[in-house]
Structure 1
Amino acid sequence: MNKHVLDYRVTNPKSGGPSFSLKNRIIRALWIVVWAVFASWTPPFMASWRRSLLKLFGARMGPGTCVYGSARVWYPPLLEMKSGAALGSKVNCYNQDWVVLDEGALVSQGAHLCAGSHNINDESFQLITKPIYIGKNAWIAAEAFVGPGVTIQDDAVLGARAVAFSDIGRGMVFIGNPAKFLRYRKNAGKQP
């Protein structure tokens, strides 16, 4: 993780001021406008164009990655997608901290990756951020939710509308709210 993006962290929570630096807020405002004007309306086959825009704003995008035009990325410098990874239509990538999708990882339509929350016991409602990691060939199904600090290991599946606030092991299939183990995915590499 490069040092040039570390200014996204909380600035001065006790002051009652903004949680993010002025530079971060300017980049995000510009990003919202650029995505709305140049990418949000584009058809699926224009993935390379959208990938170029994300790279321009600091995202690390591997070959063959795809972010649909209707997907929302909160802060591109904290997004890393390795080859063949995809964010489907209407995905909300709320990456206040790092979100990393390894090779072939798929986040399906309407899913929500949320790398931030708040300390409800702090009088200033302090922002807390933790990175999210989605492993190789893992699948986050439609409208699922992945919370701050969660690791979804290689070949794992989080079922449709499931909610994960803890890690999911290699090749495991989780469903429900809260997500519970269902079974191992068949042909999902070496299982424990």
Structure 2
Amino acid sequence: MTILDARVSAPSEGGPSFSLSNRLVRAAWLVVWAVAASWTPRQLAPWRRLLLRCFGARMAPGSDVRASARVWYPANLSMDERAVIGPQVNVYSMGLIEVGHDALVSQGAHLCAGSHDSDSPEFQLVAKPIRIGAHAWVAAEAFVGPGANVGEGAVVGARAVVFGELQPWTIYSGNPARVIRPRRREGR
């Protein structure tokens, strides 16, 4: 079995949300990141990209996950060119999380691609993908929830809470996130 074979599978009724192999891969990942990456300086971004790729992440050239960030399951992370996940960001990648080119997720933000079925007696996991468009910015300590789609060039203000669809080139703030104003496009 390879690391990529341990992806999230649909839970059986009343059973665990993740297979034993998935849980073992995540445990190995935590150890590898703690020992080989969590202490590295910014200049070692290529090394961190390599480690993430070894655990199934799709990391484009120039993308960066800062050393103090936490990635729950790398195989559910996809980052385009020059996308950055900043310091102390929690990437709770129970479902797929895609970060577009030149997008920035700032310090302390929380990307949470899963929740629990509140109608299930066992509170089974429900994973929904998160998409952050090209040129978007998720500011410090914002929360982006399961199924959120942050449009191209959109800005999520500091500590904002996002669920659902955010329009491209628009600035949002608050809990829940609301439109503040359109965002100017550079050079246009």
TM-score range, shorter chain: over 0.9
Map 1:81-96 → 2, pairs under 5 A = 81-96=79-94
Note if 1:52 corresponds to 2:50: yes
Structure-1 residue corresponding to 2:117: 119
Q: Sequence identity of aligned pairs in percent?
A: 52
The CA distance in 1 between the partners of 2:96 and 2:5, in whole Å, is 10
Unmatched 5+ stretches in structure 2:
none
The CA distance in 2 between the partners of 1:188 and 1:111, in whole Å, is 25
Structure-2 residue corresponding to 1:29: 27
| 2:170 counterpart letter in structure 1 | M
Name the CA shift for 1:189/1:128 in 2 (closer, same or farther; >3 Å).
Answer: farther
Structure-1 residue corresponding to 2:131: 133
Describe the superposition over 1:6-31 as per-residue Cα deviations: whole angstroms up to 9, x where unpaired.
741232132xx321011111110000
Structure-2 residue corresponding to 1:154: 152
Structure-2 residue corresponding to 1:10: 10
The CA distance in 1 between the partners of 2:185 and 2:139, in whole Å, is 18
**Aligned to 1:173, what secondary structure does the other structure show?**
strand
CA contact (8 A) 2:103 2:133 kept: yes
Number of equivalent positions: 185
What RMSD over aligned residues (CA atoms) do the two structures have, in Å? 1.4
Name the CA shift for 1:68/1:27 in 2 (closer, same or farther; >3 Å).
Answer: same
TM score, norm. by length of structure 2:
0.94
TM score, norm. by length of structure 1:
0.92
CA contact (8 A) 2:26 2:72 kept: yes
Structure-1 residue corresponding to 2:165: 167
The CA distance in 2 between the partners of 1:135 and 1:75, in whole Å, is 21
Unmatched 5+ stretches in structure 1:
none
